[in-house]
Chains A and B, each alone.
Chain A
Amino acid sequence: MNLALSDEQVFLREAARGALSRLQTIEAAREALDGNAPLPDLWPTAMQAGWPGLLIDEEHGGAGLDAFDAMLVLGECGRVLAGVPLLGHLPASAILNDSPNAAGFLPEVSSGERRAAYLPAQPPSDVSDRWSTDPASGLERGALPTAGAPDEDGRVPINGSFAFVPDAPGASGMVGVALQDGRPVGIAVLNDSRGVEVKPVSRYDATRSLGHVSFTDSPAVLLDASEESLAAAWYLAQALIAAESLGSVETALDVSVAYAKERHTFGRAIGSYQAVKHSLTEVLRQLENGRSLLYYAGWSRNGKPEEFPLAASAARSVAGRALDQAARTMISVHGGIGATWEHDAPLYFRRAQLSRRLLGGTAGATDRVAGELIAQASAA
């Protein structure tokens, strides 16, 4: 048993931190929110660092690394609120990597010449036997798009929609799941295909690129990835957004602790008061719990795949709450200034509020933890 980072993993993380530190992403997040400038395109940075191919096998031009390595990179993105479109690309690349008939795409997906986006769909649970999609509004979850019969080129027509798809605008193609004769099948659609509409949407956090996607008889390649692989992509997305969220928690905590040491009231640093100290240790407690679950999730994807849904959902659940707690604590510790645009705290707060509602939401992941454990208990 060994939960330490390898030298290569430490190098990967430090390299990511170094590459992102030169980009002034927090300033860019503020500018974008003001509407003064579009967010900088960070994909060239990702390509240069080799991140697009992190999860693709070496024989297809990728790095052949594991979920935990990708999570380290996402954590660094989260630390500085960098909108690198990996949340969409990496789960999509994992499905393609598991599809023998997509091998031809892999070199360009791996290099990043083609950027992919993942069409999020939640696998069935202990209480529902159907796949579902995030709704554009409200609590009722949507149905998967349908895939028709193949045409003479072997393409299948797709009809249906996905809401709030991360990193869909500007992607070369999208990868996910559709229903064909009631059975889940993997699909890949090029963004410029017939009947594909990707409507960019911006909600509350300008660093997050999202799109409402709809397909009208759009031609798709049917992927031969297994149903397990299609489900694993959802949990990979949960693990990645968990890692990204905890990166943001790290920064929020560091900044808050530094201020609590420096700011004095009644003749002493505010961090010496129990009320402030305990609220900061609560953020640390949730962060440490989240970090432990990142190890579990990162290891289980290949080490114990039957536990990956539980591990990734638990990581997402804890990380989502930690991010909200950290962002709110950051504002409280800073006092009034923390609630103004003079400070970075509102950027982390905005990140927290939106992130917790994407990809099935933190609440959805929490329910899935219960569902997985209840299913385990019933099977025992």
Chain B
Amino acid sequence: MDLDDTPEQAAYRTQVRAWLAEHKSQAPILTGPGALKDEDEIVAARRAWQGKLAEAGLAGVTWPKEYGGQGLGPIEQLICNQEIGQAKVPGILDAIGVGMLGPTLIAHGTDEQKGRYLGPMLHGDEVWCQLFSEPAAGSDLAAVQARARLQDDGSWRLSGQKVWTTNAQFASYGLLLARTDADVPKHKGMTMFIVPMDAAGVTVRGLRQISGEAEFNEVFFEDVALDSDAVVGGVGNGWGTALTTLMFERVTIGLGGEGLGFNSNRFAQAIAADEHARRDPEVRHQLGEIASELLAVRFTGYRTLTALQKGQIPGPEAGLAKVTIVNGAIKAGDLITDVIGPDALDEDSEWAYMISFLPGLKSAGGTEEILRNTIGERVLGLPPEPRLDKGIPFSELRSKEGAAA
């Protein structure tokens, strides 16, 4: 057991740190004095910065070299993330594309798809979005209803609605899970597609959140035409392809929690700044409990890395880290608001955005309830709840649900 860098890792860290020191003045400023305000400007600046990071080899670290990556391991990826955080510069804009969707294309895409899409994705020239969830398909993702119908000429026509789509407002492409056969059980009749977001019939509408900002969207598809080469991973294999994306999502969350700023040191600073709070036994007790759990997650991330390094695929237990991070940060925000008072909720406060963001994050990337179900069943081996949808064609499910109600 060792938490220090090997000589090779230390050399790599030095190299990354040196590049960041030299180029950090070119990074967009997103908070504090001189921060960019206009959203279009922010997106443009962050895309350009992602391009610089990619050229320097600081994006797509684990991607194979033939697709523009560095062909390095998850440790090097973490070192990059740590150094970017340390340098206090933004990371890549398209973390969803580079972290989850690109690796899915690498695993399941055709050579043509990889050749066409991966380079522009990595460099921020084309941003991607993930079109999986729907108003009636979240925890039960395999219930998607967006319908793609095969045409006589081999092309497809897509209709339906997606929701909670981060970055859709400026994305060039989306990876979309659609139903292509409703006459088979629901996990079998889905297909993954690449959808150009500028295609006729695609409408993006921002969804404002508690903070007042619209970071994600609902996306409507009205008879959108897709070529036959838009299919990823084969017709009818959409569920398997989606599981690959979700596995990469777990890795991203497992290694990136602290990148969201939910770490014990930052919360402790807020308490330490108040002479009375830092000595108050109740405040200290709460801070101690929250901080212990958030510290634990940092080392759970290192355990995940160790497993990845040994070629093991991280299991669903990484979801427990997400539960800990979100609930810990919620408690921390609450405690800090108790300490600071209403000023913590002021729009200019460091904390208001986090406090508004967290209730939604509790459901993002799997609700706490569905994560606990999955972990209870897959890790502890507890029996599943009885299901009403097993082996039943998707087209007949609605009537079954009605009868059961």
Contacts and interface: CB of A to CB of B under 8 A. Distances in A.
Nearest to A294: B299
Nearest to B4: A303
Given A1-B9, A1-B75, A366 B285 contact: yes
B299 A371 contact: no
Given A288-B300, A289-B297, A296-B299, A3 B271 contact: no
Interface in B284-338: 284-285, 287-289, 291-293, 295-300, 302-303, 305-306, 309-310, 317, 320, 323-324
A303 B1 CA distance: 10
Interface in A92-110: none
A370 B285 contact: yes
Interface string A241-255: 000000000000100
B317 to A, nearest CB: 7
A5 B310 CA distance: 13
B33 interface: no
Nearest to B317: A288
Given A5-B1, A284-B320, A289 B296 contact: yes
A295 interface: yes
A127 B276 CA distance: 12
B279, B317, B320, B376 — which one has the most chain A CB atoms within 10 A of its CB? Answer: B376
Interface in B183-241: none
Q: Interface SS of chain B: helix, strand, loop or mixed?
A: helix
A367 interface: yes
Contacts of B320: 281, 284-285, 288
Contact of A295 (B1, B75, B272, B323): B1
Contacts of A2: 1-2, 306, 309
A314 B306 CA distance: 22
Contact of B376 (A3, A268, A281, A363): A281
B31 interface: no
Contacts of A186: none
Contacts of B278: 126, 374
Given A3-B1, A289-B293, A373 B287 contact: yes
A1 B373 contact: no
A340 interface: no
A280 B299 contact: no
Given A1-B3, A272-B383, 5 more contacts: A1-B75, A3-B299, A274-B369, A314-B291, A367-B288
A276 B284 CA distance: 32
Interface stretch (B47-55, B103-111, B146-154, B262-270): B262-270
B268 A278 contact: no
B299 A4 contact: no
B38 interface: no
B299 A295 contact: yes
Interface string B247-276: 000000000000000001100110111000
Contacts of B265: 373, 376-377
A293 B375 contact: no
Contacts of A273: 385
A240 interface: no
Contacts of A285: 320, 323-324
A377 B375 CA distance: 36
A53 interface: no
Contact of B284 (A260, A278, A370): A370
B383 A261 contact: yes
A272 B385 contact: yes
B35 interface: no
Nearest to B310: A4
Contact of B2 (A1, A257, A281): A1
Contacts of A318: 292-293, 296
Interface of B: 1-5, 9, 75, 78, 264-265, 268-269, 271-273, 278-279, 281, 283-285, 287-289, 291-293, 295-300, 302-303, 305-306, 309-310, 317, 320, 323-324, 369, 372-373, 375-377, 379-386
A2 B5 CA distance: 9
Tier of interface size on chain A: 35 or more
B278 to A, nearest CB: 5
A263 B268 CA distance: 45
A368 interface: yes
Nearest to B9: A1
Contacts of B324: 285, 289
A371 to B, nearest CB: 7
A295 B302 contact: yes
B382 A271 contact: yes
A363 B285 CA distance: 7
A133 interface: no
Interface centre among A277, A317, A371 (most CB of B within 10 A): A277
Nearest to A285: B320
B285 to A, nearest CB: 6
A363 B75 CA distance: 35
Contacts of A321: 289
B283 to A, nearest CB: 8
Nearest to B266: A377
Contact of B288 (A289, A368, A378): A368
Nearest to B293: A289
A278 B288 contact: no
A43 interface: no
Given A285-B323, A290-B296, A3 B3 contact: yes
